[in-house]
Structure 1
């Protein structure tokens, strides 16, 4: 269904077929046709076997095929990521090493076509980032190679760890391959980000239940100019028994681990104890890493987590020359104009130490140099540098 939606949105079917054929030559054919679901037009992608027989493949065999296939680096790495998640989930379910996992419900040849096809379609569309909605898992029971099982299937619920889901709906609404694609390719879960929409695709599967359109929809577009809104997570904990001299190293370690921000809030706890709330901002994919760091660095007994919406300006970094060296200017852009331009303090402090002058002198020089470059509030961009180059700052 996802592959059909991406092809409907403009991905090249020949490009998809070439990528799939590069991994399993002369085994499968990818085709499409237009159909309807509850009165809505949709594209159904069908993967059919064109071989008399298919080898019995474990995850180790599939990984070797992906590594040796003539794929672009991006498609190969994406497909390896998705299959690794799928194999790890199946390994946990069956109590086996991942290398020994054999895909039963998702036959190896059609799973390869689905995963490689979706990765190739995203690459063909030039998609740089994926955001996905919460997932409806379905209800009831499903027949598998291991007998009758409740919905969601074991591998699906393993892959859903850390992702917002809901139950309800008749039958199996999320498959292991679908969940693995979502978790491997989507950076976060949340509403449609601010964008200028360029294409919409709707994909259908084989089922056509009454009462609802059983389809998957993709929306492709360019990020909205000037600011991008995304769903982030705030992880926090209260700590009253740590040496205050340790806090700078804790914040630095969390930022080094990939946190978008980390900060302290002074609080008063029970019995009048002075304490701090440590708060850390990161993506859904970073939560497990940041949570582990918080436990390890602080010795806390618990971490609270909540989703938040963050709107970030486009950013750039522009170096300017001052006496004795260079200072980077952090630039925030909104609607094509400079909204803020601030010298990087560490650059100024380093130069000040080398020159033996107060830091404020170097900061003044950097601000003057930035203004001379046109980096002042309200100035039109570009004035130098590359938007988004400083997105990690």
Structure 2
């Protein structure tokens, strides 16, 4: 178990077999969330109405925890999103539980509103808004809080969601799978059929897409525990479960023989003043991009445009998307997972006649592969000394070589990962 007082905690949701609210809650209880603490938060919203129970089951031979919500009142009323929002806002809940629960139900209401063509506030929840689903949402948010996961800080990610196929019966009749609300909630997420029947419920899909910051494979982390939550059906040969992997994230990325996991964000822009692009790229780098670049291209009808591309680590993707929307006129961004294979880098300062220049070296197996003076440092020295940039650059190259910063030479002991200032 991770001690939330000493380390950040990340939760990755594996919904590759589908997802429902009770399945996700079961997985979090299985990995160690305190059931009594979860019950107290649910009671703050639904006093005396439901009771949470959990116990071991098997699904296709795999051990899991089945969470059940026992409704303690007769004939609970249907509720609108406005009613549910008022209950959540008025309940004695910490913000770390209340705010994500509100976000989940807001997504549900918006999706149902689009499906039925009515404003979100007027949506009457049936399957989605029953007491057990309210308990699933609040319980899941409470369990994450109990485990020390900072949802608002991007502490949750999730993988591809299996949504199912075929048809199913619901309050509105015979519906295709994924049901319309799940299809709406899937916008911007990676999904697959994954099997027959309804594998993802609206509550489950809303929890994943509202709580998880990005759709990604298992991120680099020091794993502390795995929880497995069971669905109601036991399908032979196909475990009907959701997994949650809990651990301490390795935010810097882990270069291995398989490369470092990165994401690339791209947008096509044809209506931005070209004089703004240097500032846009600089802003993206300040926001944490590993690299950012422009590619000239032609859009439909022959309009000249640029594709702006941003390379970053998965944990920086939300901030980089926000910066792209803020700095450019784009109304849509595409994102893809990439593997980056990069040589380790280090810096060594060399002294010139009129100042200091940092030399960036790329190395492998302890030997220098490439050594390049930082151009910004060269330009700054040239400006201060009143000498041509080309002259200072040539001096920097010579000084680097004289200091032993040449391909094939060993990495010097004074090299540091941080650029000298």
Is the shorter-chain TM-score for this pair beyond 0.5, marking a shared fold? yes
Query: Among residues 43, 47, 51, which one is paired with 2:65 in the alignment?
Result: 43
1:58–1:99 CA contact under 8 A, matched in 2? yes
Cα deviation digits, residues 147-167 of structure 1 (max 9, x gap): 100000000010000111101
Aligned partners of 1:287, 1:222: CA distance in 2, in Å?
23
Aligned partners of 1:168, 1:276: CA distance in 2, in Å?
37
Query: Among residues 258, 263, 280, which one is paired with 2:292 in the alignment?
Result: 263
Aligned partners of 1:137, 1:287: CA distance in 2, in Å?
28
Aligned partners of 1:226, 1:245: CA distance in 2, in Å?
33
2:112 match: secondary structure: helix
The offset of 1:108, in angstroms, is: 2.9
Corresponding position of 2:264: 233
Instruction: Output the TM-score relative to the length of structure 1.
Output: 0.71
- Mapping for residues 345-364 of structure 1, pairs under 5 Å: none
1:140–1:170 CA contact under 8 A, matched in 2? yes
2:262–2:311 CA contact under 8 A, matched in 1? no
Aligned partners of 1:28, 1:311: CA distance in 2, in Å?
52
Aligned partners of 2:329, 2:33: CA distance in 1, in Å?
45
Aligned partners of 1:238, 1:97: CA distance in 2, in Å?
32
Cα deviation digits, residues 305-361 of structure 1 (max 9, x gap): 53335799xxxxxxxxxxxxxxxxxxxxxxxxxxxxxxxx9xxx9xxxxxxx78xxx
2:79 match: secondary structure: coil
1:8 match: secondary structure: helix
Structure number with greater Rg is: 2
The reply on whether 1:79 has 2:108 as its aligned counterpart is no
Any gaps of 5 or more consecutive residues in structure 2? 1-22, 255-259, 343-375, 386-413
Corresponding position of 2:208: 182
Over 3 Å counting, the alpha-carbon distance change for 1:72 and 1:305 in structure 2 is closer
The reply on whether 1:125 has 2:147 as its aligned counterpart is yes
Over 3 Å counting, the alpha-carbon distance change for 1:252 and 1:45 in structure 2 is same
The offset of 1:172, in angstroms, is: 0.4
Q: Which moved more, 1:174-183 or 1:274-283?
A: 274-283
Corresponding position of 1:279: 309
Query: Among residues 194, 198, 213, which one is paired with 2:239 in the alignment?
Result: 213
Instruction: Output the TM-score relative to the length of structure 2.
Output: 0.66
Q: Per chain length, whose mean CA-contact separation is higher, i.e. which structure has more relative contact order (CA < 8 Å, sep 6+)?
A: 2
Aligned partners of 1:82, 1:310: CA distance in 2, in Å?
34
Any gaps of 5 or more consecutive residues in structure 1? 313-344, 350-356, 359-375, 382-393
The reply on whether 1:93 has 2:115 as its aligned counterpart is yes
Over aligned residues, Cα RMSD in angstroms?
4.0
Aligned partners of 1:23, 1:265: CA distance in 2, in Å?
50
Query: Among residues 67, 71, 75, which one is paired with 2:89 in the alignment?
Result: 67
Cα deviation digits, residues 249-282 of structure 1 (max 9, x gap): 44467679x6746733465879xx9985422357
2:26 match: secondary structure: helix
Aligned partners of 2:45, 2:340: CA distance in 1, in Å?
40
2:329 match: secondary structure: helix
Over 3 Å counting, the alpha-carbon distance change for 1:310 and 1:45 in structure 2 is farther
Aligned partners of 1:162, 1:176: CA distance in 2, in Å?
15
Q: Which moved more, 1:134-143 or 1:276-285?
A: 276-285
2:69–2:132 CA contact under 8 A, matched in 1? yes
2:144 match: secondary structure: helix
1:136–1:167 CA contact under 8 A, matched in 2? yes
Corresponding position of 1:296: 329
Q: Which moved more, 1:107-116 or 1:285-294?
A: 285-294
The offset of 1:111, in angstroms, is: 1.5
Aligned partners of 2:129, 2:274: CA distance in 1, in Å?
56
Query: Among residues 269, 275, 279, which one is paired with 1:245 in the alignment?
Result: 275
Over 3 Å counting, the alpha-carbon distance change for 1:58 and 1:255 in structure 2 is farther
2:141 match: secondary structure: helix
2:209 match: secondary structure: helix
The offset of 1:246, in angstroms, is: 2.7
Aligned partners of 2:198, 2:304: CA distance in 1, in Å?
52
1:200–1:219 CA contact under 8 A, matched in 2? yes
Aligned partners of 1:285, 1:104: CA distance in 2, in Å?
33
Corresponding position of 1:11: 33
Aligned partners of 1:20, 1:96: CA distance in 2, in Å?
29
Corresponding position of 1:320: none
The offset of 1:168, in angstroms, is: 3.6
Number of corresponding residues = 324
The offset of 1:51, in angstroms, is: 1.1
